Amino acid sequence: MSLALVLWVGIFGGRGSVDFPARPSASLAALPAPALRVQKPSPLRPDRDLSYWSPVVRSVSARASPAADAPRVALVGTRTAEHTPNIVLTMGRATDARGRVWTRVRLPVLPNNTTGWVPRSALGGLSVVRTRLVVDLERLTATLYRAGKRIFSAAVGVGAPQSPTPRGEFYIRNKLVSYASPFYGPVAFGTSARSEVLTDWPAGGFVGIHGTNRPDLLPGRVSHGCIRMRNQDILRLALLLPVGTPLTIR
């Protein structure tokens, strides 16, 4: 399903015909360059290197299908557990029998990889991201791609066997500096991934990506589920990773 936005600009004269000179007059000044440049629209279509997210502007129930009477999957609030504006990764849209538009979104709930449908009216405007973060639990690496090209890679620490980092498709929910500390490092990212066992993430249950005061343990399976990086790596990633970026943990 796709949505394209087309901007038409028309210039209309008054009644009757308008005669134009055969040659431009030398006395006419050159027209100034237009102040507004309309960018090429980005169609809403499934694309590995192009994704969309929206803020949640009012609390709403996510449904199992695009219908008001469908079973409720989860309650989606306007704020995250870290007290930042809540966002959802959008995955498609549909219109119900009454003409109401619904958006399919990825949900930060257990079980992981859950999706649901919310009314389009409960979401704000769409933002575009062209990045994708991949965490490889076997190779113990995190790699960031932009438009399909690798722009960042670093060794990571992931969950220990008794508290594994979950696999699946998620997204970056927020960027945090308020948790800056020796343990969490200078900056952190909250994700939509949830630990089914336990976590050292302050909000409880969510998997974070953050720095560490024990770089000597990386790479390794050393955390309670979070993804740890050396501080210099998380600072470099913070310059490249926008909120809303899809996250694959495999």
Q: Which residues carry out catalysis?
A: 210, 226
Pairing, β 72-76 against β 60-63: antiparallel
d(CA 241, CA 247): 11
- Tokens representing 215 are 């770089």
Q: Report whether 175 contacts 240 (CB < 8 A).
A: no
Long-range contacts of 95-103 (CB under 8 A, 24+ apart): 95/66, 96/66, 96/67, 96/68, 97/67, 100/68, 102/63, 102/66, 102/67, 103/54
Residue-wise DSSP of 93-118: EEE-TTS-EEEEEE-S-SSTT-EEEE
* Angle, vertex CA 101, rays to CA 39 and CA 42, nearest 5: 15
Distance, C-alpha 130 to centroid of its chain: 9
